[in-house]
Amino acid sequence: MSRTHVLIDLDGTISNSLPGIARSLQYAFAECGYEPPTDDAVRSIIGPPFEVSFPILGVPIDEMTPVVAKYRERYNDIGLFENTLYKGIPDMLEALLSEGLSLALATAKPETVARRITAHFDVAQHFVYEAGASPALNDNRRSKDQVIAYCLSELGIAAGDHVVMLGDRDHDVEGALANGIDCVGVTWGFGSADELLGAGALCIVDRPAGVRAAVYA
């Protein structure tokens, strides 16, 4: 198969963002009078936008705006750097580039925040474009399928077999399939193999060193 482009998720695929997200959500929930979620509860919802995850954690959509504001108050200053790059990620990115593939970031995290994180970890230079969600909760670029569609548009390419998504959650797979592209699921992040395969992942990879071969599956 002739691949030309790989779209890559951020949280749970490039970096382990659980500590910063959990501490910032716990701070925000406490400040706004809600029971702070446990680390395990936060882990289970990392990936999709807040409109999906907050109701699961007990905050109705019509009450989430002040909680999101408090979350960002801490996360944008502290939480985004409470984050570690998964072992083998720089080598994985270099291996994909050595194949002549064009790499782009496609994350449901707000784009400005995502770019700060990739710059901090010195991996931004691997991407020809970094696409993320709009920070506005009522905008039309929030879900993963919307981010992927936006990324493809900014790259100036059409969907097809030449493009593949790399991600760790079912919403990565669903977002890719909604745009007519395959998704390779990774298990070192926040989603399980069963979750990824159940959503329709093309195949599963357990370590970054296996991605180079998997994108041609």
Which residues belong to the active site?
Answer: 9
Segment (H or E) for 69: helix 64-75
Q: How many residues does the chain have?
A: 217
Residue 158 CB: number of other CB atoms within 10 A?
12
Give the Cα-Cα-Cα angle 59, 60, 63 (nearest 5 degrees). Answer: 90
Q: Which two tokens stand for residue 58?
A: 């007990």
Cβ-count burial of 7 within 10 angstroms (0-12 exposed, 13-18 middle, 19+ buried)? buried
The CA–CA distances, whole Å, from 68 to 8, 24, 27, 62, 171 equal: 25, 10, 11, 12, 21
Phi, psi of 144 (to 5 degrees): -65, -40
Distance CA 85, CA 22 (A): 17
- In 3D space, the residue among 170, 178, 179 whose CA is nearest the CA of residue 204 turns out to be 170
Segment (H or E) for 5: strand 5-8
